Amino acid sequence: MTVPDPVPVSTPVSTPASVSGPVAVVVPERPAVTFVVPCHNEEPVVEGTARALLALIAQQREIGRCGPASLVLFVDDGSTDRTWALIEQLTRDHPGRIAGLSLSRNVGHQHALLAGLSTAPGDVLISIDADLQDDLTVIPQMLDYYQQGHDIVYGVRAQRASDTRLKRMTAAGFYRLMRRLGVDVIDNHADYRLMSRRAVEILREFGEVNLFLRGLVRLIGLRSAQVFYDRGERTAGTTKYPMSRMLALALDGITSFSAVPLRLISMLGLLTSLFALAVSIWVLVVALTKPSAVPGWASTVLPITFIGGVQILSIGVLGEYIGKIYMETKHRPRFIVDRAVGLSDEGLQ
């Protein structure tokens, strides 16, 4: 993808009008870049990921794209292997360049990522998975777009050759369904993105417990761009997103951002009522025109079965929405930080 030439640094960038009127955002000359890396049982890859990201930071510092305060923040999402022990060792080996955050329990990828984004210091935050299947070579393009005034830069997969055919088909179907339900999502974008400090602070104002960050980040608005890359194979370890978790994430995305399923229930209820009325008229006509006719079992069983199935389905969809309302009203913390290493007290506030 062709990236426009970066504008001179420290150039004021016009932003949408706020309550107090238009403001100008000054892009830092050498921004502090923090990589936020959620981890869950990533013992086989965490050290290699740290080396790759530190090398990238050093390279970008040499050419002036990032400043000396840039670092890597690993977020341990309740791992049961030696992931956290390795993170602690990395922070001792690379003080000021690697930091770690340990959550009190496993809260899931989306909440762990939010914990890192809410805690990480820096002018620019880049979220990336620990397996490094996302291509690091597009990071310079992301930083160039940031220098041009883009608050969010999305990493989008140009192709999904590393995925199975089933996963490609289900992913395409999911994005198509989300768009038809009126949800603003970017096809083939997961959680590989750059966010400015301003965008992160806005994201922190969203209080949802049922997180679908791909949708929430789109709600922020602001100026954004996209970079395209080819996703590689996982070099070690196993995927932390089996089909069950992908389906759960898809369900969260649909029910958290669209009320269309509820409207469909209303339409289905209307159609069911019309069907029941038609069957009633048919039964009445048969009874009046053919007194000797014995009503068949189909005219009894079919409406009951159909209406019963619709009712159960409707109750299930309603229950999903009510369950989310129930969880939101509790106002429980979305994550709890157990330990932190390599971060200042100010960063943990």
Answer whether residue 243 is part of any domain: no
Q: What is the dihedral of CA 212, 217, 218, 220, to 10 degrees?
A: 130
* Closest CA relative to residue 146, chosen from 31, 64, 18: 31
Same domain, 140 and 60: yes
Q: Are 27 and 124 in contact (CB under 8 A)?
A: no
Residues linked to residue 100 through DSSP beta bridges, in sequence order: 74, 341
Same domain, 218 and 267: no
pLDDT at 169 over 60: yes
Distance (Å, whole) CA 96 – CA 89: 13
Domain count, the chain: 2
Same domain, 193 and 267: no
Q: Are 129 and 192 in contact (CB under 8 A)?
A: yes
Q: Which domain holds residue 66?
A: 12-238+333-348
Same domain, 268 and 224: no
pLDDT at 182 over 80: no
Answer whether residue 255 is part of any domain: no
pLDDT at 150 over 80: yes
Distance (Å, whole) CA 104 – CA 191: 23
Same domain, 187 and 295: no
Answer whether residue 248 is part of any domain: no
* Closest CA relative to residue 239, chosen from 169, 170, 162: 162
Answer whether residue 42 is part of any domain: yes
Q: Which residue has the higher pLDDT, 347 or 116?
A: 116
**Which pairs count as long-range contacts for 306-313, CB under 8 Å and 24+ apart, including other chains?**
306/272, 306/275, 307/272, 307/276, 310/268, 310/269, 310/272, 313/268
Helix (H) or strand (E) segment spanning residue 35? strand 33-39
Helices (H) and strands (E) in the chain, counts: 10, 10
Q: Three-state DSSP class for 225? A: strand
Same domain, 144 and 208: yes
What per-residue confidence (pLDDT) applies to 193? 93
Same domain, 296 and 311: yes
Q: Which residue has the higher pLDDT, 264 or 63?
A: 63
Write phi, then psi, for 26 (nearest 5 degrees): -100, 120
Answer whether residue 245 is part of any domain: no
Q: Three-state DSSP class for 177? A: helix
What per-residue confidence (pLDDT) applies to 47? 93
Answer whether residue 141 is part of any domain: yes
Distance (Å, whole) CA 117 – CA 299: 59
What per-residue confidence (pLDDT) applies to 179? 76
Mean pLDDT across 340-347: 75
What per-residue confidence (pLDDT) applies to 210? 77
CATH code, domain with 190: 3.90.550.10
**Residue type for position 16:** P
What per-residue confidence (pLDDT) applies to 213? 86
Q: 226-281, pLDDT tens digit by residue?
A: 999 888 776 665 665 556 666 666 666 666 666 677 777 777 777 777 776 677 67
| Percent of the chain's residues with pLDDT above 90 | 36
Answer whether residue 4 is part of any domain: no
pLDDT at 296 over 70: no
Q: How confident is the model at residue 188 (pLDDT cuts 50, 70, 90)?
A: confident
Burial class (CB in 10 A: 0-12, 13-18, 19+), 91: buried
- How far, in whole angstroms, is CA 107 from its chain's centroid? 14
Same domain, 303 and 337: no
Same domain, 130 and 273: no
pLDDT at 284 over 80: no
Same domain, 165 and 49: yes
Same domain, 295 and 156: no
Mean pLDDT across 9-13: 37
Distance (Å, whole) CA 196 – CA 122: 9
Same domain, 192 and 320: no
Q: What is the DSSP letter of 42?
A: -
Residues linked to residue 155 through DSSP beta bridges, in sequence order: 227
Q: 108-142, pLDDT tens digit by residue?
A: 888 999 999 999 999 999 999 998 888 899 999 99
